[in-house]
Every structure is written in structure tokens, then in C-alpha cells.
Structure 1
Amino acid sequence: MKVIMFYHSLLSDWNHGNAHFLRGIATELQKRHHQVQVFEPENGWSLSNLTQQYGETKIQEFSKYYPNLKTNFYRPETLDLDKTLQDADLVIVHEWNDHDLVKRIGEHRKNSDYKLLFHDTHHRALTERESMSQYDLSNYDGVLAFGEVIRNIYLEENWTTRAWAWHEAADHNVFYPRTKDSFDGDLVWIGNWGDEERTAELHEFLLKPVKELGLRAKVYGVRYPKHALKALADAGIQYGGWLPNYMVPEVFARYKVTVHVPRRPYAEALPGIPTIRPFEAMACGIPLISAPWEDSENLFRPGRDFLVARNGEEMKQHLKWVLTDQRKALDLVCNGRKVINRHHTCSHRIHELKTICKELGIAHDKIYNPTHSSAHQKATV
């Protein structure tokens, strides 16, 4: 297949978690000999913030980790869809794109043969319904939603007539255990402070337990206001700033445990959606302890693949347990890695995407034997 993908950024994961999954999916499609082209807006805010703070060095570093992934920059006012989408079989448009672009691509689809999908990986379908309802998906073939609850919203609101749950997953080409020769500390947390959606939870499940247990801990992420940096310092936690996602496995290997603190919309109103961080942590073989979230889709085995702390005091007890009981820690690591390797890698998601493509009517040879299909196309041109 020739797959065209419109996302906010492939190159930058500065406050842009969707880049994690996109990189893994694009890599897996390429490994299966599909043609992949990713388009991102020129001067997008994530890449702009990255280059303003770190220069071009991180873009060069990205190429070392992902030598086969390239991006295509565009300006909305000069984007030629006839040229861009020529010979496409599948086009995927992410929900961080502007309403006008989403509509334009849909209008283009009316007179084309490719299949067109909208990809939603955020809680805005629940928390900002009015804005999400403004996306014109009338000419789209369906929606890829990163959880059943989001999928059901699209169907119940009649924003689309077809939708599939397509969870995020770990890019196992990058996220796998590294050798652990020594440790820099006890606990590491990687996440952005953001829009105060989990401030109370971070205090309860991260800062307070670390302080009371006297753990050596470090936090990485962006958008930490002054009061957040002060709270980290008061808890004795080091702040490491932004960390490129492709370097996360190396950092995980230098710590003994990590935690997951879901943002409030996911914990309270979007059961079944863990976001990508737990997938990546378990893939890297670091014990994971999570604040409460409801695994309504039975993705994991809570208590076996990771521990769940119902409150801050229970988080303290779990942390002490994992840090002092090596056998318990090893059990969590082994179970977590098994469930990821069996069900939740980007390779698994490509298998699911191929099934969706089959439902949409894309030719079997293009889906399952792209090398043969390409050769046939060249022979008949």
C-alpha cells in the first residue's frame, strides 16, 4: 500500500506524545515494504519549541535513531492535494490537524479511490465535544479511536458511521530492556506537567510518597510552571527537563521503578485508555506502579503486569515493596514484558490496521503482499 499520514509532527515529541506511536507505526509499515509518507505543517508549534530551545542538533539526533523515517513539510495555503495524494491507497488524518485541512482532504476523497481514516488519540471528544463536532468527516471512511469509549462517542454523536478501537502501543524497535549495570536512583517519572489536569494526583501519587520515603528520584518533561518546580525541589526530586522519547529506554534502565499518573479525564471518564506511557514502560522492563484507572477493555492484568495504588499511602507501600523485594520486582518486569510482546506492540497494531483495510475493500495484494503488488503495478504501467 501507499500510505499517506497527516500528523502534527514526526520529528518532534516536545509535548507531543502522538509522535511516539506514529514513529512506531511508520517503521512497521516500512518493514512490511509499504510506501509511507508523513506530512507535517511547516513551523508546527512542537518542532518550533524544540528547535528554539535545542537548535537543530535534536533533529540530527532523531535521524540516528530513525534513519529510515523522513517527514514532508507543507504550508496549508500551498498544499496541492492532487499531487500529495496521487496513487495513495490509504490516507490517515490525525485529529490535531486544522478543521479546514480535515475538510479539504475529505472533499478530495469524493473523487478519489483511496480510503480515508480520521485518527483520534485525545480526550477532546469527551471534554471539548463542540470543537470536535466541527470536524467534517462526512467523506471519511471511518475513525480510528484509541479506545472503545472514544469510538462509541463518534458513533453516538453521528460524527461517523464506522469506527474502530485502535489503541496506542509500544514501538518495540526502540522500547526494549537495556543492560542495567548500575542505577542513578530509585524512581523516575517521565511526563509533562501540562494544564493542571493532574496536579493533585501528582502530589498524592508521586511527590509525597517520594518525599516521605526519602527516595532518590528524577522527573523529566516540559511545561513545568514555577510552582511545580518548587514542589519538586521540596520533595527532593531532581528535574531533568525535556527528554527525547527515543532516549527513554536508556533512562528507564538507570532506575528501579516508575509510576503512571493518568490525567484526570482519563482516570475519571475514559476507562480503558491508559495512554502510551505504560506500554512503553512495561516494554522496557521497569516495574510500573499506577495511580487508579479502569482497565475496562482488559488490556492488562492489574496486580500482575503492574501494580495499582488506590491512594498515596498505598503507593508508598507498593514502592517500598518493589524496591526491597527483588523477586516481586522481577515478576512485574517479566509479566509486563510478556503482555506487551504478546498483544501491545506497533506490530500488533499494524495487524489490526490491515484487518481494517480489508474491511474497507483495499486490494488483498496491496495489504498483504506489497512487494508483489508494486512489481505488478510497474509491469502494467
Structure 2
Amino acid sequence: MSRRPLDIVILGLSLSSSWGNGHATTYRALLRGLAQEGHRVLFLERDVPWYADNRDLPEPDFCDFTLYGARGDLDRWRDRICRADAVILGSYVPDAIMLLDMLADWVPGRLAFYDIDTPVTLQALEQGDAEYIARRQLSAVDLYLSFAGGAALERLHALGARQARPLYCAVDPERYRPLKVEKRWDLGYLGTYSPDRQPGLDALLLEPARRLPHRRFVVAGAQFPEDIDWPENVERIEHVAPPDHAAFYNAQRFTLNITRAAMRASGHSPSVRLFEAAACGTAIISDRWPGLEEVLTPGRAILAATGAQDVERALLMPDDRRETLASTARQIVLDHHTGRARARTLAGYLGQLTARTEIMA
């Protein structure tokens, strides 16, 4: 593991705006952790209109940050990119396939791909190519950082990845923590609309809301279709900005975690929302997926549900048991899933990569 500070360049989907994506909060926790560990990071973000109108962190204070308009703008940063200890390109970055080819020429031996959508990527790669990485490029990437562990890493190697390592999402415990706020809702959900998550939301929140009209529910997130039949006891919030996440979680007795279909099928793909809610000391109800028990033990640190009846039983749980469940999950997350813990893991991976490059040179 490298003991010296690293100079890292990251080209990611978004750091400045959390609107409609889960990448921003993931990057923020990781980059804050890297800064705490003494590493230097330049984050390059493509300037696109849908994020330009919704920037909730336009000037991050934990890294160097800049927007670029097109591939040619990156020439301005070429010297720093070429001198960096490691360069990381993230999933869903616009024109990522072209950028990956370019970066493979600029920084041979020091190029990583950070896939925050691994199960979705695997599904696309096995059917042809993903829109942000081509199958031919897997062997050109020196380190493939995967949001999913377990069998996903074996599938990546089978497709041609030379070195695939897990790098789960993480939470910033200074921003996600217990707060003394009124409990406004019995069960809530925070997440952007996704067609493959909607059946889970229907079964584990909307149906319980219909069965329990005296209970209070909330769904916060953008892009939900207008034709959804929301029960009267379900409050809708279009967007909760990251600075308000902690207060939102703390206002819930339970929060719901729903996993995208590809991630649920692949397993070993914990959501950042899982860690955020746990760090806030909010009890969690989650759908079931392989590897959940390796993150938070069902029945001890989290409740796993397959249908509305499981949720109904959870909502009848005595407060002392709910609080024990929540505090157990919080301690596990503080011990193993903070941005700083994840930064140490990443620095270890990149330090080995850099050392190998130096030996080759």
C-alpha cells in the first residue's frame, strides 16, 4: 500500500449536482475521505444543462473541481492528467468510450474505470457494449473498480477485465448523523424514479400505505410519472438536496431501501442510501438480495421484506427494538463503510498500481 499522498484525476458523471443521480453523493463521500487522508484530487465534470440548473455543490472545498464543455477542453488539463499517479473515469460520463481510448494513450499503466453501475454494465456488456464502455476496452483498463462484489467480479474477469476490485459506495458520517427532529413519517423512501424499482416501491410502500391508512408515508425523488396512483397518506416530495438528507432520514421511523433489478439479481451491490440511512440512526427495511447479510445482518441490523405483510409487521415493532436495530446498523456503517474507510481502500489499490507502473518505467 502506498504511504505517500497521491495525485488523482477523476472524470465523473457529476459532483456538483445530485439531481436525478446517485453518483454525486458517492463521489462526495469518497473525495472527502481522500482529502482527509491527505490525497489530492482533480474532479472534471462535463457541463450539461440538466445539472447546470440543479447544482447543490457548485464549489466543493475538498478537491480541485472544474467543468468542461467538450473533449477538446480537456487539453487544458492534459499535463496534470499525464502527471497524475492515477486517472479514474467513471460510468455514465458523456462520450466515455472516446475518453477512455484517449486516456489509455495518455496514461498507460495508471488508468482506472470506476463503475458505479456494475450490474447494469455487465448486462449491457454481455449483450454487446455499454454506452459508456466497450467490451474491447476492458483489457485496456489497468484497474476496474466495481460497485458490486461477489460474482460480478468473476463476470468482469470473464469479459476481459485484467484487474477487478470492489469499491462500494460510502457515507460521510459528519453529514449523515442522528438529529433531534420530529418523527413525521412511519416509512419513507428516497430515490429517483426507475421502472425496475417501481414494483418494489408498489409492494413495500404503496400497498402498505393502502392497508394502513392511519400511518404516514413519504416518497422523495425526481422523475416519477404523473399517472402513479399515490395513496392519500403518502406525501410526495420532488427532490431532497443532500444537505437535507439527514433531517429527512431522521424524520422517519423506518426508511425503505429498494434495489434496481440488475443489482438485486447480481447481489453484493449495497446502495449508498443504505449507508446514509444507517449513519443517521434510522431503522431500515430492504428488499432481499444476495450479499445483504455481509453488509447488514437481517433481523439484527436491518429488516428484509418480500411483501406488504413484512412491512406491516415491521411498522408494529416496539420503539425499543426499532432503535436497537438502527443503532446496530449505525455502528457497523461507522466501522466499515465511511468515505474515509473507502478512501483508504482506494489509495491501497492505486498505490499498488502506481508502484507497478514505476517499476515498469
Q: Which category of TM-score, normalised to the shorter sequence, fits these structures?
A: 0.7 to 0.9
Structure 2's unaligned 5+ residue stretches are 1-5, 357-361
2:233 corresponds to 1:236: yes
- Measure, in 1, the Cα distance between the counterparts of 2:162 and 2:263: 24
Q: CA deviation at 1:259?
A: 1.0
2:156 is matched with 154
Q: What is the identity, as a one-letter code, of the residue corresponding to 1:258?
A: T
- Measure, in 2, the Cα distance between the counterparts of 1:338 and 1:141: 34
Task: Tell me the secondary structure at the aligned position of residue 252 of structure 2.
Answer: coil
1:202 is matched with 201
Contact kept? 2:138, 2:159, Cα under 8 Å: no
Task: Summarize deviations over 1:191-246 as a string: whole Å, max 9, x none.
Answer: 1222x112222111110102211211221101111122xx22x3521111011123
Task: Summarize deviations over 1:272-309 as a string: whole Å, max 9, x none.
Answer: 11221111110110011112222267122111111111
Task: Tell me the secondary structure at the aligned position of residue 131 of structure 1.
Answer: coil
- Measure, in 1, the Cα distance between the counterparts of 2:49 and 2:329: 35
Instruction: Identify if the C-alpha distance between structure 1 residues 241 and 303 changes in structure 2 by more than 3 Å, giving closer, same or farther.
Output: same
- Measure, in 2, the Cα distance between the counterparts of 1:353 and 1:131: 26
What is the TM-score normalised by the length of structure 2? Answer: 0.88
Task: Summarize deviations over 1:45-85 as a string: whole Å, max 9, x none.
Answer: 4x14xx1xx6xxx54xx368x54455211121332153341
Q: Percent identity?
A: 22
Instruction: Identify if the C-alpha distance between structure 1 residues 296 and 179 changes in structure 2 by more than 3 Å, giving closer, same or farther.
Output: closer
Task: Summarize deviations over 1:147-196 as a string: whole Å, max 9, x none.
Answer: 223322210111x211101111112231111123x2223222111222x1
2:272 is matched with 276
1:16 is matched with 21
- Measure, in 1, the Cα distance between the counterparts of 2:249 and 2:73: 43
Q: What is the identity, as a one-letter code, of the residue corresponding to 1:190?
A: L
2:287 is matched with 291
Contact kept? 1:193, 1:223, Cα under 8 Å: yes
Q: CA deviation at 1:86?
A: 4.2
Q: CA deviation at 1:310?
A: 2.3
2:47 is matched with 42
Q: What is the identity, as a one-letter code, of the residue corresponding to 2:40?
A: Q
Q: What is the identity, as a one-letter code, of the residue corresponding to 2:144?
A: V
1:378 is matched with none
- Measure, in 1, the Cα distance between the counterparts of 2:355 and 2:153: 22
Instruction: Identify if the C-alpha distance between structure 1 residues 291 and 235 changes in structure 2 by more than 3 Å, giving closer, same or farther.
Output: farther
Contact kept? 1:219, 1:237, Cα under 8 Å: yes
Match of 1:96 among 89, 92, 99: 92
Aligned residues: 339
Task: Tell me the secondary structure at the aligned position of residue 144 of structure 1.
Answer: strand
1:379 is matched with none
How well do the aligned residues superpose, as a CA RMSD in angstroms? 2.0
2:243 is matched with 246
2:339 is matched with 346
Moved over 3 A (4+): 66-70
Task: Summarize deviations over 1:253-278 as a string: whole Å, max 9, x none.
Answer: 222211112122222x2111122111
Task: Summarize deviations over 1:107-152 as a string: whole Å, max 9, x none.
Answer: 1123xxx721111111322321222361524432110011223322
2:114 is matched with 119
Task: Tell me the secondary structure at the aligned position of residue 282 of structure 2.
Answer: coil
- Measure, in 1, the Cα distance between the counterparts of 2:145 and 2:341: 15
Q: What is the identity, as a one-letter code, of the residue corresponding to 1:341?
A: L
Contact kept? 1:106, 1:138, Cα under 8 Å: no
- Measure, in 1, the Cα distance between the counterparts of 2:199 and 2:30: 34
- Measure, in 2, the Cα distance between the counterparts of 1:44 and 1:293: 35
Contact kept? 1:24, 1:173, Cα under 8 Å: no
Superposition map of 1:1-381 within 5 A: 1-43=6-48, 45=50, 47-48=51-52, 51=53, 58-59=55-56, 62=57, 66-74=60-68, 75-80=70-75, 82-97=78-93, 98-110=96-108, 115-122=110-117, 123-129=119-125, 130-132=128-130, 134=134, 136-148=137-149, 149-158=151-160, 160-180=161-181, 182-194=182-194, 196-214=195-213, 215-228=215-228, 231-232=229-230, 234-267=231-264, 269-295=265-291, 298-321=294-317, 325-362=318-355
- Measure, in 2, the Cα distance between the counterparts of 1:315 and 1:119: 35
Task: Tell me the secondary structure at the aligned position of residue 226 of structure 1.
Answer: coil
